Amino acid sequence: MTAASPSAPLAPRVRAKASRDQWTLAAGLLAVAALLVAFVALPLYALLSKSFEDANGAFVGLANYAKFLETPALSASAANSLTISIITAVVTTALAFVYAYALTRSCMKARAFFKGLALLPLLAPSLLPGISLVYLFGNQGLLKSWMMGASIYGPIGIVIGEVFYTFPHALLILLTALSITDARLYEAADVLGAGAVRKFLTITLPGARYGLISAFFVVFTLVITDFGVPKVIGGNYNVLATDVYKQVVGRHDFQMGAVVGMILLLPALLAFAVDRFVQKRQVALLSARAVPFSPKPSPGFDAAMLAFCVLIAGIILALLGMAALASFVKLWPYNLEIVWKHYNFELTDGGSWASFWNSVEMSALTALFGTAIIFAGAYFVEKQKGFTRLRGAVQLLCMIPMAVPGLVLGVAYIFFFVDKANPLNVLYHTMAILVINTIAHFYTVAHLTAVTALKQMDPEFESVSASLKVPIWRTFRRVTVPVAMPAILDISLYLFVNAMTTVSAVVFLYAPDTTLASVAVLNMDDAGDVAPAAAMAMMIVYTCVVVRLLHALMSHAVLKRTQAWRRR
Amino acid sequence: MADASRAGPPYLSIEGVSKSFGSFQALRDITLAIAEREFVCFLGPSGCGKTTLLRAIAGLDIQTTGRIVQAGRDVSALPPSARDVGIVFQSYALFPNLTVADNVGYGLVSRGMPREARRARVDELLALVGLTEHRAKYPAQISGGQQQRVALARALATSPGLLLLDEPLSALDAKVRQYLRGELRALQRKLGVTTVMVTHDQEEALTMADRIVVMNMGHIEQVGTPAEIYGQPATPFVADFIGAMNFMTGSVAGPGRVRVGSIELAAPALNGAATGTTVTVCCRPEDVVPADGAQDNAFDARVATLEFLGPNLRATLEPPGAERVTAEFSATLARRLGLTAGGTLRVAMPGDRLRIFGSR
C-alpha cells in the first residue's frame, strides 16, 4: 500500500456546531471578562490618564511627572521609600530564610507551633506593629532606653514594623522553596564526602535561590506600597505611600496622587515580572522522581535553630501582646489598671463599633461573592477550549491585580467611580464598591488557588459528561465544586482575612456610613486615641483568629461529608 | 467476521478525514468503514494519530476536513452530546466524589428516567461487569481493574450505538490486563455494540480485534484481520511494528527468485520486478525452521549466539555471505537439535513465508 493519497486541498473545512455547554462556557467567560474590564482595567486606565491631565482634565503630557521630580519633598520621599524597602527586604528575607530553614531542615521540637506563630502577623492590620512600637519604644515607652537616644519615630520604627508585617509573606515563599528539594542530592554529596558548609553552599542555597529572589521582591513591593506602618510611626520621615494619601485625601491633588500612584506601580510591576519568571524556573527544579528530604537529629544545630525561632516568635508575640495589653491598660505607662474603656469606641472620634461591624459585613460579603466569582471565573477560563484570544486576555486580566498595589488600586477606583459621567458612579460611597474593590485587590492569589485545584482534576470529566449528555452545569455542581471544596474554603478564608486587615485600598473609598475597622484604627491613631486604636486593631486580630478557627472546624466537617472518597 | 464486515452498509464511515494543529498534520485523509457489531483496534506508535482519530469520532476534537457518518447520520460537525457514543478514557475519569453506583448511573439522571428504572439499570450494569457488591464504594476504594469496569459500565449505561475505548487497559498490571482483555471482548460480543479501541499494544490488538487499523504518522498503513496483519504485512512499517521481523537486503535473481548474500531463495510473493532490482526480504524468526538436506530455500548457517527466553531460545544465525538472521526455536526443539553457540545448523526460510518489499 502506498502512502495515503494527497489530501484534497479544496475540501471544505468542517465548521463544528457549538453545543449548549460551549455556549454556557462562552457566556461565562464573557461575563468574567466584562467584570475584570470594568473593575480592573478601566479604573487603572482612569489612573493612567489622570496622571497626564491637569486639574481641568486637559491633556498635559508629562508635565505632572516633571512637577513631581521638581518637588524636593516628593523626590525625597521616593529616596526614603527606596531605602526603607531595600533594608526591610534584606532583613526580612534573611530572618525568614533562617526561620524557614529551621522549620524544614532541623529536627527541633514544635515546628508546627512555631510556623503557626510566625504566620500570626497575617491576621493583623499593618497598623498594629506601629502602635505596639510606639508603646514599647515611644516617648513614654517601656523600653525607650533601649533606643539609646535614637527615636523610634522614623526609619528605625518603620523598618521594625515592616519586618513584622512582611515576615509571614517571605516565610511562606521560603518554606515552599526549601521544602521542594531532592534528598538524593544530599545523599550523593554525603557519599562524595562533602561537608555541611559545602552542601549548604552547593545544594541548599542554589535550590532556594529563586525563593530568595521571589521573597526579596515580594517584601520590597509590600513595603514600598504599605502606608499603615509609616503612617503610625513614620513621624516626619515621608515615604511615597503616605504622600499619595496626603495628596489625594489631604490636598485633593488628584493629578499628583495619580503620578505617585503610577510611580508606585513600577516597583510592583518589576517585582511581579521577577516573581513570574522565578516561579517558572522553580517548577522545573523538582522532578517527579525526587525523594523528599527528611532531616536527621543533630542536637547542637537543633538547639541553635530552636533558640532563633524562640527569639523571632517571641518578638512577634511581644508586638501582638503589647497591642493587646495597650488595649486594656488604663493609662500607659502611669496607671496599669486593667479596664475595658478603650473598647468603648463611641468615646472616640476616629471610629465606632459600627465600623467594626461594617468590616465584618464587608469581609463576609467579599468572602461569599469573591469566592463564587473567582472560582467560577477560573472554571470558565480553564474549561474553555475555543476563543483562544479572549481566554488569553482574561488570563492576563486575572494576573494584573497581583501587580497592582492596593494603594494604587484604591486611587484608581476613586478616579474611575467619582466621575459622574460613568454609569457605575452609583456604586461610589457604597458598601458594594468596598466589596468589589477588595475582591479585585486580592483576585490573583485566589484565582491561582482555584486554577491549581481545577488543574488537579481529570481534564476528561467534561468530556465524559458531554458523551453522557449531562449538561456541564450539573457536572460543575455535582463533581467539580465538591471535589474542589478544600480549595474553595481556603479561598474564602484568604479573602475574609485580607478584607478584614486591609487598609491601603479601602482608605480612599469608604463613606461616612461605611467606615471600616482598619480605617478606624488609622483615624483614631491620627486623632491621638492610641489605646482605642490598639483595641480596634486587636478586635481585627480576634475576629481573624476566630474565623480562622471556624474555617478549620468547617473544613473538617465539610471534608468529612464531601471528601469521604479521599479515605481508602 | 471480517468478511461479514465488508458486506452491507457500514455502521460508521470515515471519509477523507484530516486534522491539522497549526502546521502539524495529525491525520492525513483517513478513509475507513466499520461494520455494525465489529470490534476494531487502532494500533500504532505514540503520535501516529490514533487517539486524534478516536477523538474526532467522539466529537471531542472535530476534524479539520472530511466527513464522519454514523448509522446513516452525518455527525461530522456535531458536539459529543449530540452523538451516540460512549467513551472510556485512559484515565477512566471516574468522578471521585461519587460512589460506584452513582458513577454508573450518572448519564441516566438527565434522561428523565424514573428513579426505580434508573436503579434497575444500574443494578443490571453492575451485575454485567461483576461489581454488584462494590456499588456503595468510592472509586479510590476499589482496584484499578475494578475502576476500569466502572468506567465501562458508565459508558454502556445509556446504551450507546458506538463504544470508544482510549487505551482502556494501559494503566493496569500485566496480569489484570490479560484477564480484562478476555472479559472486555466477551462483553462486547454479548452486547453486540460496535466498538473502536485505541491501543499501542500489538498483543492487545491481535487478541481482541476483529480488524486492526495500523496507523503511522497520521495515515493508515494497513487494515485487516489480526492474521492478515501479522501474516501478510502490507508495508515494511507494519512488518517491523507488529511482531519481530528479519529484514534482509537482497536483489531479484529472476522470476520468483531473490538472492540474499550467496543464498538464492524461491519467493512466490515476488511479482514482476526486473532482475537485479534491490529489494528487502522479510522473514519472521519463527519462520526460520530447521531443515534437512534438499528442502527448498535451505542453507547452512553458523550459530553466532544463543539467548535463553524461557520456553523459547533465540538464535542469531550467520548465513554464508549475508546479514545475520534471528531465529526462534522452542526449547524442546533446540534440545533435540543439540543447538550450541558456535555450531552449524541447516535451516530453511519457506518461500510462502517470505515477504518482499521494494528497497526501503
Q: Please, which pLDDT band fits residue B3 given cuts at 50, 70 and 90?
A: very low
Residue with cell 521573597: A215
Kindly state the helix (H) or strand (E) to which residue A274 belongs, with its residue range: helix A254-283
Report residue B96 as a C-alpha cell: 471521585
- The structure's pTM equals 0.86
B311: left (phi over 0), alpha (psi -120 to 50) or beta: alpha
Query: pLDDT class for A564, splitting at 50, 70, 90?
Result: low
| pLDDT higher than 50, residue A35 | yes
Of A566 and A531, the one with more pLDDT: A531
Res. B267: pLDDT tops 80? yes
Between positions 465 and 484 of A, the ones with CB within 8 A of B are 465-471, 474, 478-479, 482-483
Nearest to B81 among A3, A11, A19 (CB): A19
Show residues of chain B in contact with A14, CB under 8 Å: 62-66, 76-77
A64 has pLDDT over 90:
no
Percent with pLDDT over 90 in chain A: 43
pLDDT at A9: 52
Q: Sign of the C-alpha dihedral, residues B51, B106, B132, B163?
A: negative
CA of B67 to nearest chain A CA: how many angstroms apart? Answer: 8
d(CA A266, CA A229): 21
pLDDT surpassing 60 at residue B38: yes
CB nearest B65 (choices: A14, A16, A19): A14
Q: How confident is the model at residue A170 (pLDDT cuts 50, 70, 90)?
A: very high
* pLDDT in the model for residue A363: 97
User: Inter-chain contact B79–A468, Cβ cutoff 8 Å?
Assistant: no
Output the pLDDT for position A244: 83
The set of residues, in sequence order, having a beta carbon less than 8 Å from that of A555 and lying 6+ positions away, is: A486, A489
Nearest to A282 by CA among A392, A394, A175: A175
* Closest by CA position to B68, among listed B58, B83, B57: B57
pLDDT at residue A100, as a whole number: 94
Q: Chain B contacts of A563, Cβ < 8 Å? A: 97
What average pLDDT does the structure give for chain A?
Answer: 87
- Whether the ω angle into residue A333 lies within 30 degrees of 0, i.e. cis, is yes
- Mark out the alpha helices in chain B (DSSP H runs): 2-6, 50-58, 100-104, 106-109, 115-128, 144-156, 174-191, 202-208, 226-231, 236-241, 331-337
Helical axes A388-403 vs A20-36, angle rounded to 10°: 30
Lookup result for grid cell 524442546: B332
- What is the C-alpha separation between B75 and B62, in angstroms, rounded? 10
ipTM of the complex: 0.84
Mention every residue, 6+ apart, whose C-beta is less than 8 A from residue A124. Answer: A320, A323, A501, A537, A540, A541, A544
pLDDT tens across A190-206, in order?
888 888 888 888 888 88
Which has the closest alpha carbon to A225: A193, A263, A190, A199? A263
Q: Report pLDDT digits (tens) over B66-116.
A: 999 999 999 999 999 999 999 999 999 999 989 999 999 999 987 778 899
pLDDT confidence band for B4 (50 / 70 / 90) = very low
* pLDDT tens, position by position, B45-60: 998 999 999 999 999 9
Q: Computed over its alpha carbons, how large is the radius of gyration of chain A?
A: 26
CB B107 within 8 A of CB A469: yes
Q: Do B141 and A568 touch (CB under 8 A)?
A: yes
CA dist., res. A138 & res. A151, Å (int):
8
Output the pLDDT for position B238: 95
C-alpha cell at B352: 510462502
Burial code (b: 16+ CB inside 10 Å, e: under 16) for A16-40 equals beebebbebbbebbeebbebbebbb
Considering chain B, what percentage of its residues have pLDDT values greater than 90? 72
Q: For the segment B187-236, what is each residue's pLDDT rounded down to a tens digit?
A: 999 999 999 999 999 999 999 999 999 999 999 999 999 999 999 999 99
Q: Can you tell me whether residue B4 is helix, strand or coil? A: helix
Q: For B65-80, how does the pLDDT look when each residue is reduced to its tens digit (9 = 90+)?
A: 999 999 999 999 999 9
DSSP class of A53: B
Residues of A in contact with B138 (CB under 8 A): 564-565
Cα distances (Å, whole numbers) of residue B159 to A122, A345, A436, B192: 55, 69, 48, 11
In this prediction, residue A183 carries a pLDDT of: 79
> How buried is residue A230: exposed, middle or buried, by Cβ count under 10 Å (0-12/13-18/19+)?
buried
Assign A253 a pLDDT band (cuts: 50, 70, 90).
confident
Please say if the pLDDT value at position A6 is more than 50. no
pLDDT at A10: 60
Residue with the larger pLDDT of the pair B157 and A279: B157
| Cβ–Cβ contact B52 with A under 8 A | no
Contact call for B65 and A563, based on CB within 8 A: no
Give strand pairing partners of A114: none
In this complex, the residue of A1, A8, A469 whose CB is nearest that of residue B16 is A8
Query: What average pLDDT does this structure show over A354-374?
Result: 96
- Alpha helices (H) in B7-143, listed in sequence order: 50-58, 100-104, 106-109, 115-128
Determine the Cα–Cα distance for residues A84 and A68; give it in Å rounded to an integer.
20
Q: What was the pLDDT predicted at A563?
A: 62
Pairwise CA distance, residues B242 & B257, whole Å? 26
| Residue B280 β-bridge partners | B249, B357
Q: A residues 365-404 near B, CB within 8 Å?
A: none
| Cα–Cα nearest to B195, from B246, B148, B226, B160 | B160
Of A340-349, A373-382, B31-40, least confident by mean pLDDT is A340-349
Q: What are A260-314's pLDDT values in tens digits?
A: 888 888 887 887 788 778 777 665 555 555 666 778 888 889 999 999 999 999 9
- The rounded percent of chain A whose pLDDT value lies above 70 is 95
CA distance B80 to chain A (A): 5
Which set of grid coordinates corresponds to residue A484?
474542589
| Residue A537 or A60, more confident | A537
Region of A397 (left: φ > 0; alpha: ψ -120 to 50; beta: rest) is alpha
Q: Which three cell numbers stand for residue B219?
A: 495515515
Give the model confidence (pLDDT) of A148-166 as tens digits. Answer: 777 888 899 999 999 999 9
Q: Which three cell numbers stand for residue A514?
A: 461605611
Averaged pLDDT, A406-432: 89
